Chains A and B, each alone.
Chain A
Amino acid sequence: AQKITQTQPGMFVQEKEAVTLDCTYDTSDPSYGLFWYKQPSSGEMIFLIYQGSYDQQNATEGRYSLNFQKARKSANLVISASQLGDSAMYFCAMSADNYGQNFVFGPGTRLSVLP
C-alpha cells in the first residue's frame, strides 16, 4: 500500500523568505512519482512540481524545488522568496507504477505568508 505523510498541519513564513514543507512517503514499488499541488482558498487544485523516483536531479520549477531524499523516503517542497499569493493548502501526492494510476494524497499543510 502507498501512504503519504505531511506532519505540518500549518506553517507560517515571512514574505520573501524561503519555506520547506515536509512530505514523507511509503511504498514498496521501486518506480513511482511524487507530486505537489497547491489549493488556494478558491478551491482549485494546481499542479506545482513532479519528481520521478529514478530522476537523478531534484526537480525545480521557478520558485519551487523538490528536495528528494530517496533513502529517507522524503520529498520536501521548498518555496523560495515567498509571496502573499503562496498562502494556500499544499498537498504531496504519489503514484506508484505497480499500483497503476492509484494516485494518493497526503493530508496537506496550510501555509500562511505574513506581510
Chain B
Amino acid sequence: DAGVIQSPRHEVTEMGQEVTLRCKPISGHDYLFWYRQTMMRGLELLIYFNNNVPIDDSGMPEDRFSAKMPNASFSTLKIQPSEPRDSAVYFCASSLWGRDRASGYTFGSGTRLTVV
C-alpha cells in the first residue's frame, strides 16, 4: 500500500489567494482526518470524515476553511482567502474503525503551506 498521499508537499501562495490541499487515504480506510500543526498550537484536529461524511468540523478555524470528501479515495481542504496566519503544516490521516486499532492512524507526509 502506498500509504496516505498528500499533495502538494509544499505550497507558497500570496495572501488572498485560494489554496487547495489534497489527500488520498489508504484504500479501505473509512475515516479521514485533517490536522494543522504550528509551533504555537501544536497538532489541531480540523475535521474528520466517516464514510465520506463530515462528522465533526468544530476544529475548523473559520469560514475561510472548507473540506470535502467526494468519494472514498479523495479529500480536499480549501482555504479561501488565505492569510499569513494560515501558514502551517497540514496533515491528512486515515484509519479503519473497529479493526486493528493497534496499528494506529496513518498519516500522510504533510503539506507545508506558506502564505506571504
A102 and B56 contact, CB distance less than 8 A: yes
A33 and B101 contact, CB distance less than 8 A: yes
Complex CA distance for A43 and B103, rounded to whole angstroms? 20
> Is the interface on chain B under 10, 10 to 19, 20 to 34, or 35 or more residues?
20 to 34
Number of A-B contacts (CB under 8 A): 60
- Check A90 for interface membership: any CB of B closer than 8 A: no
> Is the interface on chain A under 10, 10 to 19, 20 to 34, or 35 or more residues?
20 to 34
B residues near A (Cβ < 8 Å) are 31, 33, 35, 42-43, 45, 48, 50, 55-56, 89, 91, 93, 95, 97, 101-107, 109-110, 112
Give 14 pairs: A residue, B residue, CB < 8 Å, sorted on A: A43-B112, A45-B91, A45-B107, A47-B103, A47-B105, A50-B101, A50-B102, A100-B55, A101-B31, A103-B33, A105-B35, A105-B42, A105-B43, A108-B43
A residues near B (Cβ < 8 Å) are 33, 35, 37, 43-45, 47, 50, 52, 59, 91, 95, 100-108
